[in-house]
Amino acid sequence: MSWIVLVGSGVLEAVWATALGRSDGLSRLAPTVVFAVALVTSMVGLAWAMRELPTGTAYAVWVGIGATLTAAWAMAQGEEPLSVARVLCLLAVVGGIVGLKLTH
């Protein structure tokens, strides 16, 4: 169950990071509210998962999921450049996340 909560929290990290970028310095209400709710929920989930998972592993997986999804979403939306090299780098991050899970 801890892994499921951790993955969900990682997804919410991508949500809050994207919302933060769209909040225009926290000056737009809707993205700011999404940012705040997703941030708190993501942190609570991370903390809950860390009761059973090692801190380093949980944090690395959480950050990896959030960073990968945030970058992939930005590329899919045309906000960041899409290239083979960038996709391969994101796949390397995903491979590291899977490796941490498999060696846990």
Q: Which residues contact 65 (CB under 8 A, 6 or more apart)?
A: 7, 10, 11, 13, 14, 97
pLDDT of residue 104: 75
C-alpha angle 35-45-2 in degrees, rounded to nearest 5: 150
Range of the domain at 90: 2-102
CA-CA-CA-CA dihedral for 29, 20, 59, 41, to nearest 10: 10
| Tokens 């860390």, located at residue | 50
Q: What is the pTM of this model?
A: 0.90
Q: What is the pLDDT of residues 11-64, one digit of tens each?
A: 999 999 999 999 999 999 999 999 999 999 999 999 999 999 999 999 999 999
Domain count along the chain: 1
